[in-house]
Amino acid sequence: MNTPQSIPFIPEGPQPLVRDIAPGGAYPVEHLGPLRPAVEAVQARTQAPVAIPAASALAVASLAVQGFADVETLGGKRPVSLYALTIARSGERKSSCDGPLMAALREFEQDQSDAQREDVTRWQNAHALWKGERDQILIEARKGKGEKKTAARADLEALGAEPAAPPSGDRTASEPTFEGLTRLYATGQPSLGIFSDEGGQFLGGHAMNSENRQKTLAALNDLWQGNPIRRTRAGDGHAALYGRRLAVHLMVQPSVARAFMADPMAADTGFLPRFLICEPPSTIGSRLHRAGDRSGDALETFGNRLRSILDTQLPMDAVTRALSPWLLPLSPEARSGLIVFANEVEAEQAPGGTLAHITGYASKAAEQAARIAGVLTLWRSLDAPVVTGDDMGHGITLARYYLSEALRLADAAQVSQDIDRAEALRKWLLESWPHAEVMTRDIVRLGPNALRESPKARAALGLLERHGWLAPLPPGEMVRGAARAEAWRICRDT
């Protein structure tokens, strides 16, 4: 009896190249601790994916508390600074989610700007008097010798240092260059955030162009670690700024995110693995208005707490403005839970494990859990003595969600890159290649630059074959005067 044979699927004509991305899991909103009511209030008001306001709340809470304490991790003391990358297409109401959660911060910055104007006037007057006295001392010194110069030196020392300009009250920037960020740290607040609901402007801006990208990524990596900012430039000399903290939340379009995640420099430098990344499923088409918006109380409570933290004096040096955050330790239960999670993730990074190809993200998962737990703890109370087991449980669950998103999106970025290469080959074959057949060596020798390696060329040829743009020829088929072991006929859609 003959057994049925499987018949391979052959497309009826060439098919479009499609990027298939597996859907993500549900956001564990119940593990946002004290941030949950505000996040659910924004989600109810906007009907946007809950992951969007969740990332906004985590990021702004991180900005608020990062200057006060560092958290204990399995690798030592670390900042509670969080970097978040939220991927959502146009129309997902990213700005509508971000706005209510940032409102108290924007109000605080406006109040600081108003107060600074008065401080600037007083500083300008004091500086003018200081400069006038200094100039007069120097004039007298030039007229005399010996004792007069000695007296002038004493007068200059008595005059004191030049009055410092009042620091900027800004806590956020949307698309700073490395130089601009360094200047803001030097003349402004030691705790800052890069927040943008149009994050493509930052990722595609001057700070991330080919000339500046490496130094920008290195600087942001250092800030995530809590390292000092070091800058050396001709004319300015060398400068180091200690005790600075940075939180980041970038909202970007999927096309921008795919390109950035496929950039080897962003991954190889460890920049992307420092981010809590997510791309929630769209809710467009299901956002029906509901009667009775009851989100006001939760958002008012969130805003009041945010303003209270921002109004609290940061622990910093009066002259250098360097932060001196205290250590927030882990309770025994929190440490025990974190160890179990860290070991679980470590085991999955072994060859053949589910996380073996995203070790950059996986190796930081336990630290991300501790940072998130630290943010939740400090948001509840800046005087909290320890991270509790409950808050660590929240941090671990959220870190696990973001790790699963990184796994899913890293695979999607690779698929996207493969599709892009296949599309480049398709266009080249249809528009530039003069023959009806093609071989792998043709691509490697003459094809698009990105495919001048056999593995990449074969991967692109395979995709085009599966989508009906190439038909494999039988081994030994005559192609351009010789029998070929492997070749394809180009299928044109016209």
* Per-residue model confidence as pLDDT tens digits over 119-133: 667 767 777 777 778
301 and 346 within one domain: yes
Query: Within a domain: residue 128?
Result: no
Given the structure tokens 């290195």, which residue do they identify?
Answer: 218
466 and 319 within one domain: no
Query: Within a domain: residue 134?
Result: no
335 and 305 within one domain: yes
324 and 195 within one domain: yes
452 and 405 within one domain: no
What is the arithmetic mean of pLDDT over 13-38? 83
- pLDDT of res. 13: 67
Query: Within a domain: residue 266?
Result: yes
Two structure tokens written together for 47:
């009907």
- pLDDT of res. 378: 98
pLDDT band at 376 (very low <50, low <70, confident <90, very high): very high
Query: Within a domain: residue 337?
Result: yes
Give the lowest-confidence range in 145-149, 198-202, 317-321. 145-149
What is the arithmetic mean of pLDDT over 370-391? 98
| Number of domains forming the structure of the chain | 2
345 and 306 within one domain: yes
CA dist., res. 68 & res. 378, Å (int): 9
pLDDT band at 75 (very low <50, low <70, confident <90, very high): very high
Instruction: State which residues form the domain around 319.
Output: 29-115+166-415
Whether residue 4 has pLDDT greater than 50: no
Query: Within a domain: residue 422?
Result: no
pTM tops 0.85: no
Angle at the Cα of 59 from the Cα atoms of 308 and 113, rounded to 5 degrees: 50
- pLDDT of res. 7: 40
- Cross-strand pairs, 70: 79, 327
Query: Within a domain: residue 10?
Result: no
CA dist., res. 294 & res. 289, Å (int): 13
271 and 190 within one domain: yes
Query: Within a domain: residue 87?
Result: yes
CA dist., res. 42 & res. 107, Å (int): 18
Whether residue 107 has pLDDT greater than 90: yes
459 and 386 within one domain: no
**At 318, which CATH number?**
3.40.50
- pLDDT of res. 61: 98
Give the domain-ending residue among 387, 415, 443: 415
Give the domain-ending residue among 380, 415, 450: 415
Q: Which of 275-289, 322-336, 428-442 has the highest mean pLDDT?
A: 322-336
330 and 190 within one domain: yes
Query: Within a domain: residue 7?
Result: no
